[in-house]
Protein backbone atom coordinates (compact mmCIF):
# COMPACT_ATOMS: atom_id res chain seq x y z
CA UNK A 1 0.00 0.00 0.00
CA UNK A 2 1.38 3.40 -1.00
CA UNK A 3 1.41 6.44 1.26
CA UNK A 4 -1.49 8.12 -0.55
CA UNK A 5 -3.58 4.94 -0.26
CA UNK A 6 -2.93 4.85 3.48
CA UNK A 7 -4.11 8.44 3.74
CA UNK A 8 -7.37 7.60 1.92
CA UNK A 9 -7.91 4.56 4.13
CA UNK A 10 -7.49 6.56 7.32
CA UNK A 11 -9.51 9.57 6.10
CA UNK A 12 -12.51 7.35 5.33
CA UNK A 13 -12.75 6.52 8.99
CA UNK A 14 -12.28 9.88 10.68
CA UNK A 15 -11.52 13.55 10.22
CA UNK A 16 -8.22 13.85 12.03
CA UNK A 17 -7.91 17.64 12.00
CA UNK A 18 -9.34 18.05 15.49
CA UNK A 19 -7.73 15.18 17.36
CA UNK A 20 -4.95 15.75 19.87
CA UNK A 21 -1.94 13.47 20.01
CA UNK A 22 0.89 13.42 22.54
CA UNK A 23 4.46 12.33 21.94
CA UNK A 24 6.74 11.25 24.76
CA UNK A 25 10.32 11.34 23.49
CA UNK A 26 13.43 10.14 25.28
CA UNK A 27 16.30 12.62 25.33
CA UNK A 28 18.74 9.75 25.79
CA UNK A 29 20.15 8.84 22.37
CA UNK A 30 18.62 12.04 20.98
CA UNK A 31 20.56 11.60 17.73
CA UNK A 32 18.20 8.66 17.18
CA UNK A 33 15.00 9.74 18.95
CA UNK A 34 14.75 13.28 17.59
CA UNK A 35 14.64 12.18 13.92
CA UNK A 36 11.98 9.66 14.98
CA UNK A 37 10.05 12.48 16.66
CA UNK A 38 10.27 14.59 13.52
CA UNK A 39 9.14 11.69 11.33
CA UNK A 40 6.20 10.99 13.64
CA UNK A 41 5.05 14.60 13.56
CA UNK A 42 5.38 14.85 9.78
CA UNK A 43 3.34 11.67 9.33
CA UNK A 44 0.61 12.96 11.64
CA UNK A 45 0.47 16.20 9.66
CA UNK A 46 0.40 14.30 6.36
CA UNK A 47 -2.77 12.56 7.53
CA UNK A 48 -4.46 15.79 8.61
CA UNK A 49 -3.54 16.20 12.27
CA UNK A 50 -2.81 19.86 12.97
CA UNK A 51 0.68 20.48 14.32
CA UNK A 52 -0.87 22.70 17.00
CA UNK A 53 -2.71 19.58 18.25
CA UNK A 54 0.51 17.63 18.75
CA UNK A 55 2.11 18.03 22.15
CA UNK A 56 5.65 16.81 22.76
CA UNK A 57 7.23 16.19 26.14
CA UNK A 58 10.70 14.85 26.83
CA UNK A 59 11.72 12.05 29.16
CA UNK A 60 15.30 11.63 30.40
CA UNK A 61 15.33 8.03 29.12
CA UNK A 62 13.13 5.13 28.09
CA UNK A 63 12.42 4.06 31.67
CA UNK A 64 10.60 7.34 32.41
CA UNK A 65 8.40 7.22 29.30
CA UNK A 66 5.49 5.25 30.87
CA UNK A 67 5.18 7.76 33.71
CA UNK A 68 4.86 10.66 31.29
CA UNK A 69 2.41 8.68 29.13
CA UNK A 70 0.31 8.17 32.24
CA UNK A 71 0.25 11.92 32.85
CA UNK A 72 -1.11 12.53 29.36
CA UNK A 73 -3.62 9.68 29.69
CA UNK A 74 -5.03 11.08 32.93
CA UNK A 75 -5.94 14.38 31.28
CA UNK A 76 -8.33 12.62 28.84
CA UNK A 77 -7.49 15.33 26.25
CA UNK A 78 -5.62 13.09 23.84
CA UNK A 79 -6.84 10.44 21.40
CA UNK A 80 -3.50 8.68 21.55
CA UNK A 81 0.15 8.79 22.53
CA UNK A 82 3.35 7.90 20.71
CA UNK A 83 6.25 6.72 22.89
CA UNK A 84 9.68 7.23 21.30
CA UNK A 85 12.97 6.03 22.71
CA UNK A 86 16.07 4.00 21.99
CA UNK A 87 17.77 1.36 24.11
CA UNK A 88 21.04 0.02 22.71
CA UNK A 89 22.33 -3.28 24.03
CA UNK A 90 25.51 -3.07 26.03
CA UNK A 91 27.65 -5.47 28.03
CA UNK A 92 25.29 -5.75 31.02
CA UNK A 93 21.71 -6.90 31.65
CA UNK A 94 20.55 -3.29 32.04
CA UNK A 95 19.35 -3.36 28.42
CA UNK A 96 16.86 -6.15 29.16
CA UNK A 97 15.52 -4.51 32.28
CA UNK A 98 14.95 -1.11 30.66
CA UNK A 99 13.49 -2.63 27.47
CA UNK A 100 11.11 -4.93 29.30
CA UNK A 101 9.95 -2.51 31.95
CA UNK A 102 9.41 0.46 29.65
CA UNK A 103 7.33 -1.76 27.35
CA UNK A 104 5.36 -3.23 30.25
CA UNK A 105 4.76 0.24 31.66
CA UNK A 106 3.42 1.53 28.36
CA UNK A 107 1.08 -1.46 28.05
CA UNK A 108 -0.15 -0.96 31.63
CA UNK A 109 -0.99 2.70 30.95
CA UNK A 110 -2.68 1.89 27.66
CA UNK A 111 -4.94 -0.74 29.16
CA UNK A 112 -5.66 1.12 32.39
CA UNK A 113 -6.74 4.28 30.59
CA UNK A 114 -8.23 2.64 27.48
CA UNK A 115 -6.04 4.86 25.32
CA UNK A 116 -3.91 3.76 22.35
CA UNK A 117 -0.18 4.17 22.82
CA UNK A 118 2.20 3.13 20.09
CA UNK A 119 5.56 1.85 21.24
CA UNK A 120 8.40 3.29 19.16
CA UNK A 121 11.10 2.50 21.69
CA UNK A 122 13.83 0.91 19.62
CA UNK A 123 15.59 -2.02 21.24
CA UNK A 124 18.65 -2.68 19.13
CA UNK A 125 21.98 -4.42 19.33
CA UNK A 126 24.08 -1.49 18.10
CA UNK A 127 24.09 2.13 16.95
CA UNK A 128 24.05 1.17 13.27
CA UNK A 129 20.72 -0.65 13.70
CA UNK A 130 19.31 2.37 15.55
CA UNK A 131 20.35 4.76 12.78
CA UNK A 132 18.68 2.61 10.14
CA UNK A 133 15.43 2.52 12.12
CA UNK A 134 15.36 6.26 12.79
CA UNK A 135 15.77 7.74 9.32
CA UNK A 136 14.24 7.72 5.87
CA UNK A 137 11.65 5.16 4.85
CA UNK A 138 12.54 2.89 7.79
CA UNK A 139 11.89 5.60 10.42
CA UNK A 140 9.93 3.87 13.17
CA UNK A 141 8.45 7.22 14.27
CA UNK A 142 6.56 7.30 10.97
CA UNK A 143 5.33 3.75 11.50
CA UNK A 144 4.23 4.56 15.05
CA UNK A 145 2.16 7.52 13.83
CA UNK A 146 0.49 5.46 11.15
CA UNK A 147 -0.27 2.65 13.59
CA UNK A 148 -1.74 5.11 16.09
CA UNK A 149 -3.98 6.73 13.48
CA UNK A 150 -5.23 3.33 12.35
CA UNK A 151 -6.15 2.40 15.92
CA UNK A 152 -7.83 5.75 16.53
Q: Which of 94, 96, 101, 151 is catalytic?
A: 94
Q: What is the structure's pLDDT at 91?
A: 85
pTM of the model: 0.91
- In this prediction, residue 15 carries a pLDDT of 81
CA 68/CA 109 separation, integer angstroms: 10
CATH of 20-151, one of 3.40.50.960, 3.90.1200.10, 1.10.10.10, 3.30.460.80: 3.40.50.960
Give the mean pLDDT per block of 10 residues along the chain (152 residues).
Answer: 54 76 98 98 95 97 98 97 96 90 97 97 96 95 96 92
Q: Compute CA distances 84 → 9, 24, 115, whole Å.
A: 25, 6, 16
Q: Which residues in the chain belong to E strands, given as ranges? A: 21-26, 54-59, 80-88, 117-124
DSSP 3-state assignment of 29? coil
Instruction: Give pLDDT, residue 6.
Output: 56
Predicted local confidence at residue 58, as pLDDT: 98
Among 147, 151, 133, 146, residue whose Cα is nearest residue 36: 133
Neighbours of 114 (CB within 10 A): 7
Query: Would you call 94 a catalytic residue per the annotation?
Result: yes
DSSP 8-state code for residue 91:
S
Amino acid sequence: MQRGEQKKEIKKVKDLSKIKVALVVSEYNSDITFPMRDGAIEELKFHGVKESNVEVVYAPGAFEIPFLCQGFAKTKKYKGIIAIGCVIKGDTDHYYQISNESTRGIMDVMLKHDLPITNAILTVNNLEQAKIRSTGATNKGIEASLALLKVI
